[in-house]
Amino acid sequence: MDASSAMGPGDAGFLTRFREKFLFLENPKYLQHLLLVPVLIFFIVWNVIPLLWLVGLSFYKYVLVTGEPLKFIGLTNFKEIFGSFEIWHALSNTFFFVIIGTLSQTVLGIILGFLFWDSKDLPGRRFALTLIFTPMILAPLATGSFFKLIYDPVFGIVNYFLKSIAGVTIDFLGSTAWALPSVLIVDTWMWTPFMMMMTLAALGSVPKAELEAAEVENLSWYRRLVHVVLPHGKFILMLGILLRTIDAFKSMDIIFTMTGGGPGNATELIGITLYRQAFNAFTMGKASALAIIALLIAISFTSIYLYILQKKEESM
């Protein structure tokens, strides 16, 4: 801190008087609440109001465009959802997408993270890191549209290589069997760097001495992960997996751009069903009921996950 900026509170003139009027705001009692107001507003507008709205709407038949008045129909929306084959199908798609996606991103991310950690003296390491992280920050819409181009059955580059190597072409996004795996590859392309970053952060949280000791003892990766990294960085890694799971569960925009849930309903995830119910069919009541179910799934998963995590921590 240099001397000039440490002059103190004495700005002269009317500013001082103006300030004095508001001096009570500097009382920590008021200040803290004043500073927290924006977050509070955010919480109310973003969580409380939508939730109340959802719970309310889910008991009504409310079709947006027809201008029909709201009609109370009790639990009919929920009954319809539980009886709908499409929604069960979307849910099973979503679970497949979440489990396979998060699993492969976690495994690949941990491997890549360890590799990078081990290659501190590699020339161009930072540049390589920057390149690898790039997919994460791209607009889902752009990503979705150019993977559509890459996957194209006629002039897509992937099919060109496939044809020249294996002699076949696959309509990746257009066939029921391939659409979901193809979409998963894009998701993995985009989000493996995230798990890699979390791995690096977890490694970074381990005291240097312990890492060096592990190196001297020449522990295998697996043992290093379990005995050295996990005790310190478990929280970070588990948080990464949790965030990835929640986001994968909600994901829709990339897939929506690539396949729109198709072909048929091969890539229909719960996020896409929700969007469609609300803004293509405009059946807001049913969409609200479905959103509540999705939210309950996410909350119960998170609670169980955090509970297990804490239990393990205590037993260790």
Partner 1 sequence: MEESNTLTLKRFIILAVIAVWVVFAMAPLVWLFMSSLKTRLDLFSMPPKFIFKPTLHGYEALFITTYADGTRKVSEIIGTMFNSILIAGMGTILAVALGTMSGYAASRFEFKAKGDFMFFVLSTRMLPAVAVLVSFHIMYARLGLADTRFGMILLYILVNIGLATWIMKGFFDGVPRDLEEVALVNGYSRLWAFRKLVLPMVKGGIAATTGFCFIFAWNEFTFASIITTTRAKTLPVRISAALGKEGLDWAMVAAAGILLIIPIVVLFYLIRKHLLMGMTFGVLGKKE
Residues 237-266 that bind partner 1 (CB under 8 A): 239-240, 242-243, 246-247, 250, 252-253, 257
Pick out residues in 197-216 that bind partner 1 (CB under 8 A). Answer: 197-198, 200-201, 204
**What is the Cα–Cα distance from 101 to 104, expressed in whole angstroms?**
5
Q: Please identify which residue in 16, 18, 51, 221 interacts with partner 1, judged by CB under 8 A.
A: 51
Q: Is 54 in the site for partner 1 (CB under 8 A)?
A: yes
Tell me the one-letter amino acid at 228: V
Q: Which of 50, 153, 174, 262 binds partner 1 (CB under 8 A)?
A: 50
Determine if 68 is a binding residue for partner 1 (CB under 8 A).
no
Shortest spacing between CB 151 and partner 1, in angstroms: 10
C-beta of 106: minimal distance to partner 1 in Å?
Answer: 15
Task: Select from 170, 206, 241, 274 the one that contacts partner 1 (CB under 8 A).
Answer: 274
The single residue among 15, 18, 24, 26 that binds partner 1, judged by CB under 8 A, is 26
Q: Which of 78, 95, 96, 189 binds partner 1 (CB under 8 A)?
A: 189
Q: Can you say whether residue 260 is alpha, beta or left, with left for phi > 0 and alpha for psi between -120 and 50 degrees?
A: left
Contact set for partner 1, span 104-123 (CB under 8 A):
111-112, 115-116, 118-119, 122
Q: List binders of partner 1 among 147-186 (CB under 8 A).
A: 147, 149-150, 154-155, 157, 160, 164
Instruction: Return the residue of 16, 134, 175, 310 that touches partner 1, per CB under 8 A.
Output: 134
Q: How many residues bind partner 1 (CB under 8 A)?
A: 94
